[in-house]
Structure 1
Amino acid sequence: MATPASRRGLAGPLKRWAANPLVYNLFVLSIFGGGVLLMVLPAELLTFKAPEKAELNLETTFSDLSSQGWLSLAFIAMGFILMVFDVVGADLVMNMVLALMVIFKIITIKSALVGYGNSGLMTVVTLFMVAQGITSTGGADFIITKLLGTPKDTMLAQVRMCLVTALFSSFVNDTPVFCIMLPIVLTWAAKARLSIRQLLIPLSYCCLLGGLNTTIGTSTNLVVTGAFDSRVLDPESEYYQEGLKPIELFGIAPYGIPNTFWGIIYIVLAAPFLLTGGAGMKVYKRMGRALSRKAQGGLVEESGADFFFGVLVTEGSPVVGHSIQAAGLRNLDGQYVTSVRRGSELVHAVGPEFMLATGDVLYLSGLPDGTDKLTELGLVPFSDALEEINETELPGLSGTFGVSTISVPKVGHLKTVDSQGDVSFSPPELVEATIRKDSDIVGQTIRGSAFRSRFHAAVVAIKRNGMPLKWTGTQIGDEVLKAGDTLLLDVAPQFWTSPAVNEAFTDLHKGGQVRSHNEFLMGMRVTKAMAGKTVQKSGMRQLPNAFLVAIDRAGATLHAVSPDEELEVDDILWFAGNAASVRFIRNTPGLVPLAEKHASKLLHTAVVERRLVQAIVAPESPLVGTTIRESRFREQFNAAVVAVARKGERIRAKPGDIELRSGDILLLDTGSAFAEQHKASGLPAGAFLFWPAPAARLQDSKHFQLIIEMPDTNPPRYLHTAIAIASIATAFTLYATSIIDILPAATIVVAIMLLTGCMSPDQARRSIRWDVYLMIAGSFGVSAALEQSGGAAAIANLIVDIGKNAGGGNFTIAAVYVATTLISQIIANNSAAALMFPIAATISKNDNVDIYLLSYAIMLGASSVFMSSFGYQTNLMALAAGGHSSRDFLKFGTPMQVVLAVVSIVSLIAHDSWGFVWLVTGAASLVVMGLPQVVDILYRWKARKHVPLKEVN
């Protein structure tokens, strides 16, 4: 999906034209008229008929290409342009092009529709259901935890994902591998807080690369080996060559494995710069800091902390004269006191007995949450902010200093003094903002950029390269700003209306883990499976959009939860998060929701039918004023209350003890019938646009105002996860050993999942991505039309002739590779391989070029589909799932296409010295792929040392 910036070039003129009624009406009428002409003209003017099945002429060139051939090329070029500029969806573009090819008699309707029933496409549809089965059991979370971990670094994540995917794809067809890996990677990205756009295109590419390592890794390789056996080894064939043997399982490995590793090397090095969400040079700067012997360059690797910020102890603060322990600063939600500045001295070893004084600056590490409590204690964000004091506020200012106003440090967001003379401060409004690359504040200090006067905001903290920054001077105002820095700002109301804000910042949102109207506080009980692990190692600090607020243990509450805190059986962990984060909290192995005891007793509700539903308590609901236990909620509604959200208030209590109020958002564990029953009860029109027509029964509109069903929120069932994984592993093993084809094997797996309760029939139906189905189905017809019209053969012969004219031999091998690659971008790569093999076999027999090398060139070229989003089905699925545009594939895939073309051609030409090629490839891979892992180990080692913060000069 195109970003606003990417559409800017076309959006302006289109809006101006559309604003003119005459132009707009003419445009609409021209489209209507053009559509009518397309329906009439072919019947009247085109007297020929599309061939039912065209005979391929492998000698077709551009000089004798038919009008249908030129039209097919033109329509494909038009479709490519539409997708590059993201005018309409790729599924619609593909089928529009196919419709034009039918209208202009390039291909028959029967041939065009063959793709919709293609066995490979049916396999993709079936595998969507297989993947849903793993997701529904909670298995995706389990798999990623065990197999891939939760890396904080995108580069390390890419290395791990690419290696696992390529290995898997070497022995199982690449499309099934992508279908299975897709939901796992989506969950993994959310859990590890990684950009999904940095992962999905690489996932598709690695599925293709892995298929190059064996002859069974992709169906294209099987097409080539089948053609080799039937044409080259058959004595009755015109392409027969005596004394040759069939291509072995690992025959392509000497050339495919270097391709795979160099492809991963390219992905790791280029993704930060060419894929959306990449950090650019920041990735390498972070590595440099990790590998240097010096301290961490001012960065605090504080066990997942989001910011390093300071709060000032103001005059009259109730914490003055008290220790940190007595002031309650050891019990902050998600924050830790790391050091204290008193005057010019910075104290690192701050124990609970440290006594506080007016003017102290406490440095906290963590999420800037709970500002209400900090404000109550007289602690305000400490920044470089200055305020103007005039003669009225400071009598004698002119006589003493010779000026009418003076700037002094600002010591609070909004300060008020009551009739008793007591000073109080209102809570600050904290906002996170990222500095734009083209902002004029880049390279300036915070104070030098006149932050407060320009933006009506003060900088409280900085994150650089995703890590909290400890400023180098005595004041944060002395810090030099860099593009991409994330700032935590204490903003005034004028901030939101200042034009300078949009020019300088992007990605503005509330700072830290802000308590919002729909934030839930969810209690989870620790079981034996989790006991003995620390908070850090158990992954409690890597849950997306959630954080651990407190632990209830043996009647006591631990607020400041250290990452090294060891969990015990029956600990109650309280997590704060939004509705989207609940799935990840509940699917964590070793944790059980407090409401599970009641949810497991729901009547006539199988575990597979349970899901999470949000329901808002209506203003006049009979539930208002009663506790959940008193209302006998489970018996009345056949639903268990998991958590309650109340206008940002955190309710840390067992669900049964919560007294309900109007407007409370209830998070319910219930069956599929709950939403259906309450949808039919006369709720406001438009409230349920996301559901089909209800099968009505109950009349409970007086209880709930709005109901939202959350997808993929079944309770985790690890026995069913084991069943799903075992059935998938068995099916793929039988397929890899040629005992059963993948389509019937996948169908049997779906049947097993349905019969054993891994997923429900409704979940299986809803898992199918129809946009992907339409894209792939249309692409089959388009590629068949280009093949039958002679366009594909013309491209192939042009490139092969160039290779022959250049000198033959190695040039011919390179030409065959290039021709196969280019054709594979626009037609199905199986068709490209089938088209190119007879051409290659003819060249081999006539010009004495090694047929094995030509066959491997076709295999490598046919699977090198990187710059076209519609060239291969895994690319189409990545396009849809990641919100990408065709430009993303063109931008990232084209250089990769060139790199792997060089690697492939060199490997084929230097076939007698493939050991040397492997040596160079291995050395490069060890450095590039091993470096992210080394950096991760170094950061973890430094974090375990707990080195105290030091001044960085």
Structure 2
Amino acid sequence: MMFSPEAIQTLLLITGCFGLLIFTRIPADVVLLAGVAILVFANILTPAEALAGAASEGLATVAVLFVVAQALADTGVVSWISYTLLGRPRNVASAQFRLMAPVAIFSSVLNNTPVVAMMVPAVRDWARRNNISSSQLMIPLSYAAIIGGTCTIVGTSTNLVVNDMLKAHSSGISLELFDLAWVGVPCVIVVILFTVFTSRWLLPDRSGRVQRFEDARQYVVEMLVDSGSPLCGKSIENAGLRQLPGMFLIEIDREGRLLTAVSPRETLQANDRLIFAGDVRSVVDLKNIHGLRMADDQVFKLDAHQAVRSLVEVVVSPNFPFLGKTVRDMGFRNHYGAVIIAVSRGGQHLKTKIGDVEPRPGDTFLLETHDEFVESQRYSRDFLLVSQIENSRPVRHEQRGIAGLILLGMVAAVAGGFMSMFKAALLAAGLMVLTRCVRTQDARRSIDWQVLLVIAASIALGAAMEKTGAAQTIAELMVGLSAGSPIGLLIALFTLTTLFSAVISNMAAAVLLFPVAMAASDQLGISAVPLAVTLMVGASTCFATPIGYQTNLMVYGPGNYQFQDFMKLGIPLSMLVGIVTVIIVPIVWPF
């Protein structure tokens, strides 16, 4: 069968898009949307077909899950997961194993999209606390979630669809829940071990880029251990207070007695005042630890509710009206509706108590204040600069139980088959907003529009391959190359499914290739089951490109990746999984 002119144009365009993504730094959404636009102007796609991806349920599900993930971060569920589940790894390899093993287990019985949505903010927080680059962890997170779905029939929706098609084609023959584990478990082991042992060479370490932009200003802040705090009775190390990058514990004030050179085995007590020194990002981390609060009594006299407070930095101008007065005497809270919690001078923290500091022009104050402070003081002559600290609002620990229950309810609804992933995520996001686990404006800001645009454009490109017959023609040519060999047919089918899944959705690839595989099994007179299993595994081997699977797109931004980063690790990993599949499938399911 020959390619039609439209099919040739589509293939050349997609090849060009891949080339731009691999060899340039043009954003993926710009490249793919431009490709879709060309297909529309070439009359290969109608406007309705080009925009169909924007209305897809998969895209909408990812968008809603961003809101759920934001609520989990805002209520402290993310921090709890990073502390309790992931622990304290000794090195990067240990961190990757601690992450990938449980994620693969979760994804074997749960939809991998919510698993990754839940884990992305937790892993980002965990990486920062343990001084590990997020780029060393985000791809392993996605790969573990993808390959975990090959262990059970319910692991992915693709498995369920292919199993139903197999049952219809083979007069009732189908796979049981854990039948796929024969090939899925070895694939999971191979993926985890290969990633752990080769990531130092195949995954980027972009921590240096983050460090170059880290805040150089140093502050001293005083935190109070609440009565009844979960930190009471824990050592400094077990409480996670030695795991804060850019922050160290100077001393403890315990009922007027100073403990200096604090040992990591020192046990925390109620009403301990902990004096830390570090940069502003770490001050935010301190504020988010459950059981710690700012020790300055002035903070509790602020009119604004704690949920709408945030941290703001201001630089004192020569026109500041309280020059020559100490912080204690100037009445800063009454005048500005804000409290000074730390002072930096010349980029260095001041060891003097805040109340005794006399401000000078150029000093930087770290304030806790209400949301409107930035707008009201942005053009004030009193300050040279007014800047809100990103993500500095207090964590709503009191809402953590509610958010956790909503998350469990969402997962249970999907796992039990009561709702589709989209409906469950939509209900969960709505409940998160209604129960005030996340503010409406934060829910809006949480959505990563670049990821959604890439998904929509990828769906449109896949539709063009199907519409022009390019996908069908390639499939028939590849199966023809197997030359009547069952093993050759498995190799061709796995390769083809993996390649198609990198361009079109894995579900579309599986549905498109299933009739081709069944036709080949009928021609060779062999069982259809090994071909169906190979199709399921091949559709879940979307490692080589970020657009191959939506979980890859979900970690693309948080990991600060480039397109080729997925190819370096994903291509050899896909080959290894293919080898394992082709060896095991004929043994467990003979031809």
What TM-score, normalized to structure 1? 0.59
1:288-323: CA deviations, max 9, x gaps? xxxxxxxxxxxxxxxxxxxxxxxxxxxxxxxxxxxx
Which one-letter code corresponds to 2:248 in the other structure? F
Which one-letter code corresponds to 1:786 in the other structure? M
Where 2:312 maps in the other structure, the secondary structure is strand
Residue in structure 2 matching 1:863, options 529, 540, 543: 540
Which one-letter code corresponds to 1:792 in the other structure? A
Which one-letter code corresponds to 1:881 in the other structure? P
Where 1:800 maps in the other structure, the secondary structure is helix
Per residue, is there more helix in 1 or in 2?
A: 2
1:700-752: CA deviations, max 9, x gaps? x1322211112222213322122111101111101111111222222222222
C-alpha distance in 2, partners of 1:572/1:565? Answer: 13
Residue in structure 2 matching 1:250, options 178, 188, 198: 178
Q: Does 1:575 align with 2:254?
A: no
Larger Rg: 1
Mark the CA change 1:793 to 1:278 in structure 2 (over 3 Å): closer, same or farther: same
C-alpha distance in 2, partners of 1:790/1:704? Answer: 64
- Kept in 1, the 8 Å contact 2:111–2:414? The answer is no
- Kept in 1, the 8 Å contact 2:216–2:279? The answer is no
After TM superposition, the structure 1 = structure 2 runs for residues 560-639 of structure 1, keeping only pairs within 5 Å, are 560-595=261-296, 597-603=297-303, 605-639=304-338
Residue in structure 2 matching 1:96, options 34, 50, 59: 34
C-alpha distance in 2, partners of 1:509/1:800? Answer: 52
- Kept in 2, the 8 Å contact 1:617–1:705? The answer is yes
Residue in 1 that maps onto 2:461 = 782
Residue in 2 that maps onto 1:83 = 21
Residue in structure 1 matching 2:259, options 530, 555, 558: 558
C-alpha distance in 1, partners of 2:94/2:250? Answer: 29
Residue in 2 that maps onto 1:120 = 58
Q: Does 1:851 align with 2:551?
A: no
Which one-letter code corresponds to 2:383 in the other structure? F
- Kept in 1, the 8 Å contact 2:108–2:151? The answer is yes
Q: Does 1:891 align with 2:568?
A: yes
**Mind listing any 5+ residue stretches in structure 1 that lack a counterpart?**
1-60, 233-240, 280-433, 435-505, 684-700, 914-953
After TM superposition, the structure 1 = structure 2 runs for residues 638-649 of structure 1, keeping only pairs within 5 Å, are 638-649=337-348
Residue in 2 that maps onto 1:156 = 94
C-alpha distance in 2, partners of 1:93/1:148? Answer: 37
Where 1:738 maps in the other structure, the secondary structure is coil
Where 1:538 maps in the other structure, the secondary structure is coil
Mark the CA change 1:649 to 1:202 in structure 2 (over 3 Å): closer, same or farther: closer
C-alpha distance in 1, partners of 2:65/2:409? Answer: 15
C-alpha distance in 2, partners of 1:164/1:601? Answer: 45
Where 1:849 maps in the other structure, the secondary structure is coil
Where 1:881 maps in the other structure, the secondary structure is coil
After TM superposition, the structure 1 = structure 2 runs for residues 322-337 of structure 1, keeping only pairs within 5 Å, are none
C-alpha distance in 2, partners of 1:509/1:602? Answer: 35
- Kept in 1, the 8 Å contact 2:529–2:589? The answer is no
Mark the CA change 1:246 to 1:743 in structure 2 (over 3 Å): closer, same or farther: same
Shift of 1:557: 2.4
Q: Does 1:671 align with 2:370?
A: yes
- Kept in 2, the 8 Å contact 1:168–1:210? The answer is yes
Residue in 1 that maps onto 2:403 = 724
C-alpha distance in 1, partners of 2:419/2:560? Answer: 35
C-alpha distance in 2, partners of 1:781/1:81? Answer: 18
C-alpha distance in 1, partners of 2:358/2:176? Answer: 71
- Kept in 2, the 8 Å contact 1:866–1:894? The answer is yes
- Kept in 2, the 8 Å contact 1:796–1:823? The answer is no
Mark the CA change 1:625 to 1:164 in structure 2 (over 3 Å): closer, same or farther: farther
After TM superposition, the structure 1 = structure 2 runs for residues 870-881 of structure 1, keeping only pairs within 5 Å, are 870-881=547-558
Shift of 1:157: 0.6
C-alpha distance in 2, partners of 1:912/1:786? Answer: 32
Residue in 1 that maps onto 2:577 = 900
Where 2:154 maps in the other structure, the secondary structure is coil
C-alpha distance in 2, partners of 1:103/1:139? Answer: 47
Mark the CA change 1:730 to 1:507 in structure 2 (over 3 Å): closer, same or farther: closer
C-alpha distance in 2, partners of 1:132/1:564? Answer: 34
**Mind listing any 5+ residue stretches in structure 2 that lack a counterpart?**
none
1:745-778: CA deviations, max 9, x gaps? 2222222222222221111111111111111111
Residue in 1 that maps onto 2:136 = 198
- Kept in 2, the 8 Å contact 1:544–1:584? The answer is no
Q: Does 1:795 align with 2:494?
A: no
What TM-score, normalized to structure 2? 0.94
C-alpha distance in 1, partners of 2:487/2:211? Answer: 56
Mark the CA change 1:741 to 1:896 in structure 2 (over 3 Å): closer, same or farther: same
C-alpha distance in 1, partners of 2:78/2:326? Answer: 36
Residue in structure 2 matching 1:518, options 217, 225, 233: 217
Mark the CA change 1:197 to 1:509 in structure 2 (over 3 Å): closer, same or farther: closer
Where 1:170 maps in the other structure, the secondary structure is helix
- Kept in 2, the 8 Å contact 1:191–1:584? The answer is no
Residue in structure 2 matching 1:145, options 75, 83, 88: 83
C-alpha distance in 2, partners of 1:912/1:71? Answer: 40
C-alpha distance in 2, partners of 1:649/1:270? Answer: 41
Shift of 1:265: 0.9
C-alpha distance in 1, partners of 2:152/2:216? Answer: 54
Where 2:481 maps in the other structure, the secondary structure is helix
1:879-916: CA deviations, max 9, x gaps? 22222111111111111111111111112122169xxx
Residue in 2 that maps onto 1:770 = 449
Residue in 1 that maps onto 2:114 = 176
Mark the CA change 1:215 to 1:653 in structure 2 (over 3 Å): closer, same or farther: farther
Residue in 1 that maps onto 2:245 = 544
Q: Does 1:711 align with 2:411?
A: no
Shift of 1:139: 2.8
- Kept in 2, the 8 Å contact 1:69–1:786? The answer is yes
Shift of 1:615: 1.6
- Kept in 2, the 8 Å contact 1:171–1:211? The answer is yes
1:344-381: CA deviations, max 9, x gaps? xxxxxxxxxxxxxxxxxxxxxxxxxxxxxxxxxxxxxx
Shift of 1:656: 4.7
Shift of 1:649: 4.3
Residue in 2 that maps onto 1:277 = 205
C-alpha distance in 2, partners of 1:637/1:750? Answer: 36
Residue in structure 1 matching 2:490, options 799, 810, 813: 813
Shift of 1:263: 0.7
Shift of 1:652: 4.4
- Kept in 1, the 8 Å contact 2:530–2:589? The answer is no
Which one-letter code corresponds to 2:203 in the other structure? L
Mark the CA change 1:712 to 1:147 in structure 2 (over 3 Å): closer, same or farther: same
Shift of 1:810: 3.0
C-alpha distance in 2, partners of 1:215/1:636? Answer: 64
Shift of 1:658: 4.1
- Kept in 1, the 8 Å contact 2:459–2:504? The answer is yes
Where 2:322 maps in the other structure, the secondary structure is coil
C-alpha distance in 2, partners of 1:78/1:255? Answer: 35
- Kept in 2, the 8 Å contact 1:212–1:860? The answer is yes
C-alpha distance in 2, partners of 1:862/1:912? Answer: 19
Mark the CA change 1:517 to 1:886 in structure 2 (over 3 Å): closer, same or farther: closer
Where 1:758 maps in the other structure, the secondary structure is coil
Residue in structure 2 matching 1:534, options 201, 218, 235: 235
After TM superposition, the structure 1 = structure 2 runs for residues 416-431 of structure 1, keeping only pairs within 5 Å, are none
Residue in 1 that maps onto 2:45 = 107
Which one-letter code corresponds to 1:146 in the other structure? T
Which one-letter code corresponds to 2:388 in the other structure? E
1:501-547: CA deviations, max 9, x gaps? xxxxx99989xx9xx86211111112342232222222221101111
Residue in 2 that maps onto 1:57 = none
Q: Which has the higher contact order (CA 8 A, sep 6+)?
A: 2
Residue in 2 that maps onto 1:261 = 189
Residue in 2 that maps onto 1:297 = none
1:320-345: CA deviations, max 9, x gaps? xxxxxxxxxxxxxxxxxxxxxxxxxx
Aligned-residue CA RMSD (Å): 2.4
Question: How many pairs are equivalent?
Answer: 588
Where 2:179 maps in the other structure, the secondary structure is coil
